[in-house]
Amino acid sequence: MHVPVMRSEVVELLAPGRGGVFVDCTVGLGGHARAIVEAGATRLIGVDRDTEALVGARAALSQWAGAVELVHGDYRALPALLDARGLAEVDGIVADLGVSSLQLDTDGRGFSFQRDEPLDMRFDRSAGETAAEYLAEVDESELADVIYRFGEERRSRRVARAIVAARAVGPIRSTGELAAIVRRVVPRDRRSRIDAATRTFQALRIRVNGELDGLDAFLRAAVGRLRVGGRIVVIAFHSLEDRAVKHTLRGLAREEMVVADLTKKPRRPTDDEVAANPRARSAKLRAAERVAVPGVAGGRGGR
């Protein structure tokens, strides 16, 4: 059975035992969704951009088919998804950001350089350009900026220059080709077990899927659709995501006072969880609860 990252912490903070409607914005293979329904949620809406993930989720959640609805869509369109179902408010929202184990482990997805396969990297393979298509056309300066910003790669200009030089000889079509290009110009840090190509692959994945695009707007919209007492839980896996989540939730708590911060510092997976699932090691979980706004009818901040 698929075991999601920080499952017990998600259930504890969402508190689905009180019943109500919950949304899993990145349902994946259904691990968090299953835990939420088992803990007492009345209804759950699971959303994912990846149609292959939804197939797995449907199988994993078949026992609760009457309480679970699975939707192919982008969590950033949450207000429209809820409006289409006549839901003004929900009781809880969870978003587990970033790439999933399914995407990393499935052949042909192009997220990992552990296998030589087509350079795709799209969460939703029914739309958008692949990483290979992006690399074929992108300007060298823009590429360097993307690798620096999204991958925090200090040698981004050197990597971009090498990629542009390589594509002049022939198209870069596979993960193996791209990894080899990066490794030639980024020396391996002997103090770290991280592959030299890791940061560049992360940067391209974030760019291809627009992972940071609209994250602030999504969080604000999600909080706006929580009933008073409803909760949001977000799990991030790299510093760029976590920084954005922290900034937005703190702003909503301290400046706009529409949420109470439930995690003053991000929660991290336990040592036992990391030992059982090494991919959980970088996870950071933050949560907040919707509160009534003084002087505003219904506590909805005029929304």
User: Using one digit for the tens of pLDDT, what is the confidence trace for 163-215?
Assistant: 999 999 999 999 999 999 999 999 877 776 788 999 999 999 999 998 889 99
- CATH number corresponding to 106-209: 1.10.150.170
Rg (CA), the chain: 20
Distance CA 66, CA 56 (A): 17
Say what the pTM is. Answer: 0.87
- CATH number corresponding to 7-98+212-299: 3.40.50.150
pLDDT of residue 301: 37
For residue 232, pLDDT beyond 70: yes
pLDDT of residue 187: 84
| DSSP code at position 197 | T
pLDDT of residue 294: 54
Residue pLDDT, tens place only, 143-174: 999 999 999 999 999 999 999 999 999 999 99
How is the chain split into domains, by residue range?
7-98+212-299, 106-209
Would you say 208 and 131 are in contact if contact means Cβ atoms under 8 Å apart?
yes
Those residues whose C-beta lies under 8 Å from the C-beta of residue 294, and which sit 6 or more positions away, are: 257
As a whole number, mean pLDDT of residues 38-52 equals 95
Distance CA 2, CA 146 (A): 33
Distance CA 101, CA 9 (A): 19
For residue 298, pLDDT beyond 60: no
- The four Cα atoms 26, 292, 221, 245 give a dihedral, to 10 degrees, of -60
As a whole number, mean pLDDT of residues 248-274 equals 92
SS3 160: helix
Distance CA 190, CA 174 (A): 26
SS3 121: coil
Residue pLDDT, tens place only, 67-123: 999 999 999 999 999 999 999 999 999 999 977 666 776 777 888 888 899 999 998
Higher pLDDT, 271 or 108: 271
What is the crossing angle of helices 156-169 and 140-151, to 10°? 130
List the one residue out of 191, 107, 181 whose CA is nearest residue 147. 181
Number of alpha carbons in the 13 Å side-chain half-sphere of residue 119: 21
Distance CA 155, CA 144 (A): 9
Q: Where does residue 278 rank: exposed (0-12), middle (13-18), buried (19+ CB within 10 A)?
A: exposed
pLDDT of residue 1: 46
What does the mean pLDDT of the chain come to?
91
For residue 296, pLDDT beyond 70: no
> What is the share, in percent, of the chain residues with pLDDT greater than 70?
94
List the one residue out of 51, 64, 197, 54 whose CA is nearest residue 124. 51
Q: What are phi and psi of 231, to 5 degrees?
A: -130, 150
pLDDT of residue 300: 40
Distance CA 137, CA 164 (A): 9
Q: What are phi and psi of 131, to 5 degrees?
A: -65, -35
For residue 302, pLDDT beyond 70: no
Would you say 178 and 113 are in contact if contact means Cβ atoms under 8 Å apart?
yes
